[in-house]
Amino acid sequence: MITRTLSQLAAMAGADPVADRPELVVKGVCTDTRNIVPGSLFVPIKGPRFDGHHYVAEALDRGAAAALWGRGEPGRPDHPAVMQVDDPLLALQRVARQYRRQLAAKVIGITGSNGKTSTKDMLAALLSTMYRTHKTSGNLNNHLGVPLTLLGMEEDTEMAVVEMGMSGLGEIEALSTMAGPDAAIVTSVSEVHLGDLGTRDRILQAKLEIVKGMRPGGLLAYCGDYPQLAEGIARTGYRGVRQSYGVEESNRLHPVRWSADDDGFAFQLDEEDPEPFAAPIHGRHQMVNALGAIAVARHFGVPDRLIREGLRGAALSGMRNEIVRAGSCLIVNDAYKSNPSSVRAALQTLYDFRKPKRRIAVLGDMVELGDESEQLHRGIGGELDPGRIDLVVTVGASAARIAEAAAPRFAAGRVVVCADKAEALDRLMEESLDDAIVLIKGSRVLGLERIVETLRRREEGL
């Protein structure tokens, strides 16, 4: 993590000059008093419902060595290491941008509607076989998370994999400009954020802002299964190296033989080396994410033998096609977020499992879909396969539209509408889950992971 003197930090942050203890060494950055690292810099973040300035004194009492303070904010503590800046968040981003440029590390930025975090996890696993690698923790991928990720790099970091998310135009450009990627991956573009951006063209525009901060000569890898990505990249005027990947043969990197089943995925590439790439990760969509990771790992010189090793040991962040074993029942915990593309991918994962006697799909509301919400929910319902799903349980008012579209094709009692997760859990507790696989898929706001834990405890007799 960043280690600088107080005077160095003041200069990097654009703070007023430090008159007292300029050589005090400060290590690390915190924005939450619950996670204070002794000797760190505390940055007070101001939001619509909170103001970090109210916690600066507490942060110093808990061991922070220094803190920023917004100019003009009342109640500034009488402490020699409290440095005034125009805006603490902008100062944090300014420090992160400069720190990134002071290090020799290569930075890879990852964005997309779906698959960002899984691709990040796999790419970090591949790069770690050869380089000292740092990656975004969890999904700290916004205007606050990206600078904290960059400032968390050790001085000897060789590779940094940085996830970049957004909710509006201009945000990815700001993150990319801050991080200065040497390579970037655009995993997908879909209906996510229709509620924020209104149209698919604006979503595409927002994702491709990642090229704005890329360094000359870098690699831009993108999933060519989305033809609009290639068209959008051409419109950006990007002149660096491009590489498409995906299942379609038109992609530069694509599989010729592949499988996705109970053991994970495996595939061979359209190349001379016949040895397959494989990972104990479920879902054919994760195979596509792996292709993006392979493209970038190869760009930085990681040999295929280490790529195969890294894939075999890769582990994904929780609640993203996470397999939870509960007695003889398998639960696919995919409760982190939900949108039409990710629901289709999760359902395909459910279909690909061979062993279970019963398949149950618990599908919650998909949020942030704007005016198309009802149509998109009904579309998912119309696609559900009664030959491969034994029970459908919907959760929430919007997801009820899934049930309405699905019910005419399912036998009576096989599609159940629930108002919330408590009602859904009560319904599931009536089911025998022996040798069943249960998919739990919904937007984060629903908190469907609580269903996962309750079912796990029941099936294991806890």
Compute CA 173 distance to the chain's CA centroid, rounded to the nearest angstrom.
17
Residue 339 assigned to a binding site: no
How far apart, in whole angstroms, are the C-alpha atoms of residue 242 and residue 296? 11
Tell me the residue ranges of DSSP E strands in 86-163: 106-111, 133-135, 159-163
DSSP 49-107: S-BGGGGHHHHHHTT-SEEEEETT-S-----TTEEEES-HHHHHHHHHHHHHHHS--EE
Residue 141 assigned to a binding site: no
Q: How many CB atoms lie within 10 A of CB 85?
A: 21
Residue 116 assigned to a binding site: yes
Residue 387 assigned to a binding site: no
Residue 115 assigned to a binding site: yes
- From the list 33, 43, 34, 44, the residue with the least C-alpha distance to 9 is 43
Strands 29-30 and 183-186, bridge-based pairing: unpaired
Sign of the CA dihedral with 34 first, then 39, 40, and 46 last: positive
Please, are residues 58 and 34 in contact by the beta-carbon 8 Å criterion? no
How far apart, in whole angstroms, are the C-alpha atoms of residue 403 and residue 215? 48
For residue 421, give both structure tokens.
């997760």
How far apart, in whole angstroms, are the C-alpha atoms of residue 354 and residue 254? 25
List the binding residues for ATP.
112-118
| Binding site feature residues | 112-118
